[in-house]
Amino acid sequence: MTQDEPSLTLPPNYTFRKLKLTDYSNNYLETLRVLTTVGNIEEHSFANLFRIWEENSNIYQPHVITNPEGVVVATGMLLVEAKLIHECGKVGHIEDISVAIDEQGKKLGNYMVKSLSTLAKSYGCYKVILDCSPHNVGFYEKCGFKNDGVEMVQRF
Ligand code: ACO
């Protein structure tokens, strides 16, 4: 963020925090379903994945925004990739940004992306990158990103 930009704020009583194990039953999966297919995830499967993320917390940084009732209404993941190039540099990857339908338009997505970018910088990343659909380019431009290439994929 430059000095000219207004400081980041959430609506009153909304909170940005790390994902908790208890968010399994606190609208986390439902919020991610706004983004894509999640499938039927049993609580023990979520707990296993959460443990993997916790044990590798230098890499996996799942975050949420909660509303005044404490319910998850936005999600976002920062992955910190340790590389050899750029003198063992680190690259941040932003993934799985999703805002509950009835909470969209309140700048929660903007807050999530900018907060994860700031986090990537604090981890020493020399850049932060993400893939998105063409219809979301304008949103990410408003978050300070620029189109810098083409996403390639091979699906299995
Ligand atoms: N295209 C262009 N501009 C947009 C878009 C869009 N698709 N969506 C929002 N904006 C603009 C807003 O109008 C606003 O502009 P302003 O500052 O001039 O008023 C600005 O971007 C910030 O908008 P927010 O209120 O922060 O957006 P919101 O909280 O609604 O979240 C999001 C946007 C995340 C795209 C939401 O609509 C969503 O969850 N969509 C479905 C899931 C999705 O597509 N996620 C992104 C996947 S890519 C990834 O995860 C790396």
Q: Which domains does the chain have, with CATH numbers?
A: 15-142 (3.40.630.30)
The β-bridge relationship of strands 90-99 and 125-129 is parallel
104 Cβ contact partners less than 8 Å away, ≥ 6 residues apart: none
Question: Which pLDDT tens digit goes with each residue over 43-53?
Answer: 999 999 999 99
Rounded to whole angstroms, the Cα distance separating 154 from 81 reads: 21
Percent of the chain at pLDDT > 70 equals 96
Question: Which pLDDT tens digit goes with each residue over 22-35?
Answer: 999 999 999 999 99
How much is the average pLDDT of 72-82? 98
The radius of gyration computed from the CA coordinates of the chain, to the nearest angstrom, equals: 16
Average of per-residue pLDDT values in the chain: 95
- List pocket residues of ligand 1, CB cut-off 6 Å: 34-35, 94-99, 104-110, 130-132, 135-136, 138-139, 142
How much is the average pLDDT of 103-108? 98
